[in-house]
Structure 1
Amino acid sequence: MQKIISVFDSLRFSESTLHYSIVIAKQQQAHLAAIFPDDATYHSFDLLQLLKSGTDQDTIRLLEENDEAKRKTAVGSFEAACQEAGLEYSTHHSSNLALQTVLEENIYADLLIIDARETFTHDKANAPTRFMRDLLTDVQCPVLIVPGQIWAPPAFNDINNAVLLYDGSPSSVYAIKMYNYLLPSLDILPTTVLSVNRYGNHLKNKRLMKDFIKRHFPNALYKVIPGSPDEEIPKYMVQQPAGTIAILGAYRRSAASRWFKESMADIVLQAIPFPIFVAHAK
């Protein structure tokens, strides 16, 4: 049985993470563990600003009690959804820093599911957030990044179409392998292997790649586009139907190079409102 972990900010509970976690865990008959990083320094309000403004302790205490009530409600929502779905589940709590907690927990998981807009601060931010960048750089297991709350429609779209991003690198092939191994129930979906080539419209390592793909996705189609991947991939993806999932690798880079070049995961996160499966070879 697989172990899937879902990361929740209990003060800003993600219905998107809950939805996709329940659907995927049910499809894979997996154990679903919810991670609630209850960082002692994190509140739904700016504590430092309140102290500076002279807010009285009784008011601050009420705000802290309200946060505690939100945390309990979030856990209750997760447990109720799992019980209704008939899933085997558990909840994990930690008062450590959120990133530290998630990086430790993911070592012992097969898949991590998280909202694209998680910050674990009282401030909101556009995707990819600083928290997500740091997480994706050091994560040890594949990650399913689900659409942030601002994108989520009233009724969530279940995954019904897949785009495998391939650039000829070992990392892109590794991501496709992990997607296939971890989410075999999605193999039957309409699947396209998308490759963008700056130097023409040929598929890199065509014979080897097609031989590999037909063993796992025998009905996959191929789309090779000339041009810049940074421009053409988002342009292609925004034209895909609701319910599409993108699969990509190659996030891990040295700390210095991250200052100068965006990862393709960053570019895709900024451009499309779809679930994104990310895995990178170590």
Structure 2
Amino acid sequence: MKNFIAVFDGYKMSESTLNYATWLCKDSGALLTGVFLDAFFYHNYNLGKVLKHEADPDEVIEVLEEKDRQQRDLAVFHFEKVCKEAGIRYAVHRDESVPVQELIYESMFADLIIINEHETFSRSHELMSHDFIADLLAHTHCPVMVVPDVFKPISELICLYDGSPSSIFTIKMFGYLFNTLKDLPVTILTVNDEDTEVLYLPENLQMMRLTDHVFSNITYQVLKGPVKTQIFSNIEESTNKLLLLGAHQLNPIAELFVQGLADELMIKRDMPLFIAPKKCA
């Protein structure tokens, strides 16, 4: 049985994460586990201000903690209600430990993690969402789907392929996880070096054999030039595309991810990303 994890902050629950998760579980028949990261040190109020300005901080904290608990309980109730209405199997896991460490642990028992691109599980403005996501990707034991703020049903796939084991592994994992999504139009996008005289698809025959087995509606697009420039030039802004990419140490795609490719694609192209890191393989 496949197990998809949807990650939630009970104080600011992501509706897009919930909508993507239920939609994907309907396609795959997976169990949806809602993981609510209720870290013991994470509050919806400013503890420092309470301690500094309140005459009886203990009493105020007790009231605020109860409000926090109720808000988090409502988030769980909403998750359960939506899952029941969608007719999918679900489970709830609430954890009070360090969020990223808990997610890494949970990933050992999951087939996919679905998380909003802006999740930080912190009130600190210094902690950027891409830092949290990058930390998760560096240590996860399963693929991760990073989703934008607004849910849009996926109608087309784009797979970044460079011949590396991680880019091939991404295709294999996608084929394993989903059913009807494999029948969507998919573009296999490869970027050759600028000095390449004859454009080529790495591991041509083996790659086509694999993709023919996984997908049913394939287009191959081979370009040359700076990888990042070519990717942005050939991935048009769309509301319904899903981008598949691998992440591998010393892999050009992974290097671009570190440099901000993933963030730029989500912001400028507003599209979800399916990422299968090296550690999954």
- TM-score bracket for the superposition, by shorter chain length: 0.7 to 0.9
Listed as ranges, the matches of 1:1-282 within 5 Å are: 1-54=1-54, 56-57=56-57, 58-123=59-124, 128-147=129-148, 149=149, 152=150, 156-199=151-194, 200=196, 201-237=199-235, 239-251=236-248, 262=259, 264-282=261-279
CA contact (8 A) 2:27 2:179 kept: no
How far off its partner does 1:107 sit? Answer: 0.4
Runs of 4+ in structure 1 over 6 Å off: none
* TM superposition shift of 1:281: 3.2
- CA distance in 1: counterparts of 2:192 and 2:218, whole angstroms: 19
Give, in angstroms, the shift of residue 128 of structure 1.
Answer: 4.8
For residues 111 and 96 of structure 2, the distance between their equivalents in structure 1, rounded to whole angstroms, comes to 23
Task: Indicate how the Cα distance of structure 1 residues 276 and 221 shifts in structure 2: closer, same or farther if over 3 A, else same.
Answer: same
TM-superposition CA deviations, 1:192-221 (whole Å, max 9, x none): 001112233322222222222222224200
Please say which of residues 269-278 and 1-10 is displaced more in the overlay: 269-278
Check conservation: 1:3, 1:30, Cα contact below 8 A.
yes
TM-score normalised according to structure 1 size: 0.87
1:182 aligned partner, one-letter code: L
SS at match of 1:203: coil
Q: Which of 28-37 and 64-73 deviates more?
A: 64-73
Q: Greater CA deviation, 188-197 or 217-226?
A: 217-226
Structure 1: gaps spanning 5 or more residues: none
Secondary structure in 1 matching 2:243: strand
Deviates more, 1:210-219 or 1:135-144: 210-219
CA distance, structure 2, for counterparts of residue 125 and residue 160 of structure 1 = 36
Alignment CA distance shift 1:179-1:240 (3 Å): farther
**Superimposed CA distance per residue, residues 122-154 of structure 1 (whole angstroms, 9 cap, x where no aligned partner):** 14579752211100110000111111x3xx2xx
Distance 1:235 1:49 in 2: 48
Q: Is the 8 A contact 2:3 2:30 kept in 1?
A: yes
Q: Secondary structure at the match of 1:117?
A: coil
- Give the conservation status (yes or no) of the 8 Å contact 2:238–2:269: no
Change (3 A) 1:42 1:269: same
Instruction: Quote the RMSD (CA, aligned, Å).
Output: 2.5
Give the residue type in structure 1 aligned to 2:207: M
Structure 2 residue runs without a partner (length 5+): none
* Residues matched between the structures, number: 272
Shift of 1:64: 2.4
> Secondary structure, in 3 states, of the residue corresponding to 1:249?
strand
Contact 2:5 2:114 in 1 (8 A): yes
Structure 2 distance, partners of 1:19, 1:215, is 29
Distance 1:99 1:115, change over 3 A: same
Say whether the 8 Å CA contact 1:128–1:266 is kept in structure 2: no
Q: Distance in 2 between matches of 1:125 and 1:231?
A: 30
Letter in 1 for 2:204: K
Q: 2: distance between equivalents of 1:22 and 1:125?
A: 32
SS in 2 for 1:121: coil
- Checking the alignment, whether the CA contact within 8 Å between 2:184 and 2:216 is kept in structure 1 is no
